[in-house]
Structure 1
Amino acid sequence: MKNYKKLMSVFIVLTLLVVLSGCSGDPTKPIELGKGGVFETILVIPIAWIMQFFGGLFNNSFAIGIIITTIIVRTIAWPIYAKSNDLSIKMAVAQPEMQRVQAKYATRKDPESQQKMQMEMMAVYKKYGINFMGCLMPFLQMPIFLAMYQVVQRIWRTGGTYADQVSNQSFLGIDLSKAGNFAALYGEPGDIAGWILAVIVAGTMFALNVLATKKPSYSKNTASHNPQNAQAEQTQKMMKYMQYFMVFMMFSISLQSNSLALYWVVGNVYSIGQNLINRYINEKKYEKMKNKDLVG
């Protein structure tokens, strides 16, 4: 289940990246009030309003608008993230009992024994309140992140309702209207600052992946009755390759836009802090559950 959940998480992020890069509409279209469908009205416009509001407070700074809005959006999505992590800690707490059940039926492969094993496993899930629908929770974040992606790409476009409030596109010497551009490898126009931002995006994404795959102490402390089999090892290798591909993909997409790269840098740094905080909270939850004798 652990390997499946990790693979699902990586798959979700990869799917999100594909959607963002190819299926998110025309990024050159300005954001205009009263135009667009339900998605635009419910998510894109409110996020754009927040970005232009804070940008306007700081000399029409597009960068400040991106930074503050990213923090706000990620904080709003935090409960979804926390709900998904609740499943992880419940799985860690229940793991010893799950492994005892698996060990009990390890050599009994007849249908009747397998059915009994499933029934006992279901009893463990019920005891610890484990609901595997929690694996789908990250999908609820996708519309929010997709809307944020569109706002970063479109809010500053000429003719847009909020373009004037984010007209200052300079940030620490970086022009957010430019892009790194792969064409720079062949001597064509490309912004060197965009390449630096893209490298930072890749670096922070790699650090986030390493942190996300690192076992928390309570998970390390759970005993294992069965050695890791070949299939589990293969799954871990596949997950690692997918993570490398995800880092490269984010690097490539970041070269399309300096503003998008800045958004992902801020988002990745926020996610690293979010992960560290959530680990600390989960440690406390685990200790609390131990004190209630839920862990033997």
Structure 2
Amino acid sequence: MKKNLKRILLSGTGITMLLLLSGCVGRDASGNPSGIIWDFLGRPMTTAIDYFANNMGLGYGLGIILVTIIVRTVILPLNLQQSKKASYQSEKTAYLKPIFEPINERIKNAKTQEEKLAAQSELMAAQRENGVSVLGGIGCLPLLIQMPFISALYFAAREVPNSNFLGINLAERSLVLTAIIAVLYLLQSWLSLQSVAEEQKAQMRTTMYMMPLMMVMMSISLPASVALYWFVGGIFSIAQQLITTYLIRPKLREQVEKEFKENPPKAVKSTNRPKDVTPTSAGKPQTAIAGNRNRRNAGKQKRRH
């Protein structure tokens, strides 16, 4: 259940980002960007792009790239902190596999609802006792903090006037940039699998292609100026994944091993016996049928006496 929940949350992150991108900044009656986020973040970013493009003579393409680099550098510590939390929970889960795996097998092979509920209760108790987060360290606060910056930059890129960058018209869609973006985000997804246990890779491969596919669908329908912003974002995503995989995770693995050596893992068995609600052919729970049968038998015995 926990793995399914994590996959749902991770695969839904891209859709959530797209919805928030369109919701953080509003538009006035004329169709121009408006609202607090635009006034405090989007407009200054647009001014910065104009400054790099016109005052410094770098052009709007480099202007978008430079402003995107600045913004992504500012929010990079938040991204790394979130990756660290998720990786810490992942390493804990991997270390505690000998405890969790038998319980997960009982959940998978449960024949009745009572057995399944009991095993799930035991799993949750074992996770709680060993300090494992049910959500795997995935939190909403860092994403919510980033979204105003990303949303403002997204709309700032869309406001770029008609101009060219390396032969690409920034006001029109670019198949070349779309293809490059697809490769970048596919590489980022592939890198995210390298630190995952072998038995989990097969389960995660289906979600590996979701983000690249979404980025292709969005890039092919939007101006190249926005695709250029996503291109820089893809490079930052790869850099963040490399830092997480080869620098953060090894240290966290050592930390988890040390923590559990000092405080050995605890296997917990749930003492609660959930009511069996497995439906029968008559549509009634087994426990209810058994109770009715016992009452009928008791009535018959009284009549005999």
TM-superposed deviation, 1:206: 2.4
Identify which of 125, 137, 141 aligns with 1:119. Answer: 125
Extract unaligned runs of 5+ from structure 1.
158-166, 181-193, 222-226
The percent identity for this pair of structures is: 24
Task: Map 1:129-208; keep pairs closer than 5 Å.
Answer: 134-136=138-140, 137-154=142-159, 156-157=160-161, 169-176=163-170, 178-180=171-173, 194-208=174-188
**Separation (CA, whole Å) in 1 of partners of 2:117 and 2:180:** 53
**Separation (CA, whole Å) in 2 of partners of 1:87 and 1:199:** 32
- Who wins on radius of gyration, i.e. which is larger? 2
CA contact (8 A) 1:5 1:135 kept: no
CA contact (8 A) 1:125 1:131 kept: no
**Separation (CA, whole Å) in 1 of partners of 2:38 and 2:157:** 14
Instruction: Say which SS state the counterpart of residue 139 (structure 2) adopts.
Output: helix
Letter matched to residue 197 of structure 2: K
CA contact (8 A) 2:185 2:234 kept: yes
TM-superposed deviation, 1:153: 0.8
TM-superposed deviation, 1:282: 1.4
Q: Name 1:162's counterpart in structure 2.
A: none
**Separation (CA, whole Å) in 1 of partners of 2:117 and 2:232:** 52
Q: Name 1:163's counterpart in structure 2.
A: none
Q: Name 2:223's counterpart in structure 1.
A: 257
For these two proteins, the number of residue pairs brought into alignment is 251
TM-superposed deviation, 1:152: 0.6
Q: Name 1:191's counterpart in structure 2.
A: none
TM-superposed deviation, 1:97: 5.0
TM-superposed deviation, 1:248: 3.4
Q: Which has the higher contact order (CA 8 A, sep 6+)?
A: 1
In structure 2, relative to structure 1, the CA distance for the partners of 1:30 and 1:60 (3 Å cut) is: farther
CA-atom RMSD, angstroms? 3.6
Q: Name 1:89's counterpart in structure 2.
A: 87
Letter matched to residue 134 of structure 1: I
Tell which deviates more after alignment, 240-249 or 65-74.
Answer: 240-249
Q: Name 1:101's counterpart in structure 2.
A: 99
1:209 aligns with 2:189: yes
**Normalized against structure 1, the TM-score is what?**
0.68
Instruction: Say which SS state the counterpart of residue 63 (structure 2) adopts.
Output: helix
Q: Name 2:297's counterpart in structure 1.
A: none
Letter matched to residue 15 of structure 2: L
Tell which deviates more after alignment, 92-101 or 273-282.
Answer: 92-101
TM-superposed deviation, 1:118: 2.5
In structure 2, relative to structure 1, the CA distance for the partners of 1:47 and 1:23 (3 Å cut) is: closer
Letter matched to residue 239 of structure 1: T
Q: Name 2:214's counterpart in structure 1.
A: 246
**Separation (CA, whole Å) in 2 of partners of 1:203 and 1:266:** 13
Letter matched to residue 128 of structure 2: M
CA contact (8 A) 1:91 1:130 kept: no
**Separation (CA, whole Å) in 2 of partners of 1:58 and 1:294:** 56
Extract unaligned runs of 5+ from structure 2.
265-305
CA contact (8 A) 2:21 2:154 kept: yes
